[in-house]
Amino acid sequence: AQSVAQPEDQVKVAEGNPLTVKCTYSVSGNPYLFWYVQYPNRGLQFLLKYITGDNLVKGSYGFEAEFNKSQTSFHLKKPSALVSDSALYFCAVRDMSTGGYQKVTFGTGTKLQVIP
């Protein structure tokens, strides 16, 4: 079974400050991890993904995420937040250990609010 947890329903940060949105996962084998962003009444936009390789993954709009196997975490980060980053962020995971296509499990989402 695979699962993902986003412990914070909401994160508030001042514009220009660094931001972190937390995500932890649980899989049987190796994880395939994603971050998506959703603006109001819109679908999800892909930000970045981790499969293998460098633990620090860089994505769209200046976002990056750090894969930490020992802590089973994949936190989303940005060095300097913008007001336009305010949105709902979803972490997602797929277990790569089983054959065939496996569905992706999404977290419950974290609402990011960047304060001017």
Partner 1 sequence: GAVVSQHPSRVICKSGTSVKIECRSLDFQATTMFWYRQFPKQSLMLMATSNEGSKATYEQGVEKDKFLINHASLTLSTLTVTSAHPEDSSFYICSATLGQGRTDTQYFGPGTRLTVL
Residues that bind partner 1 (CB under 8 A): 32, 34, 36, 41-46, 49, 51, 90, 94, 96, 100-104, 106-109
Q: Which is closer to partner 1, CB of 82 or CB of 96?
A: 96
Q: Which is closer to partner 1, CB of 28 or CB of 45?
A: 45
Kindly report the number of other CB atoms within 10 A of residue 6's CB atom. 19
Looking at residue 43, its amino acid is G
Dist CA 18 CA 72 (whole Å): 22
The CB-of-74 to partner 1 minimum distance in angstroms stands at: 15
Dist CA 62 CA 114 (whole Å): 15
Token digits of residue 56? 């620090």
The CB-of-100 to partner 1 minimum distance in angstroms stands at: 8
Token digits of residue 52? 């293998």
The CB-of-18 to partner 1 minimum distance in angstroms stands at: 26
Q: Which is closer to partner 1, CB of 25 or CB of 34?
A: 34
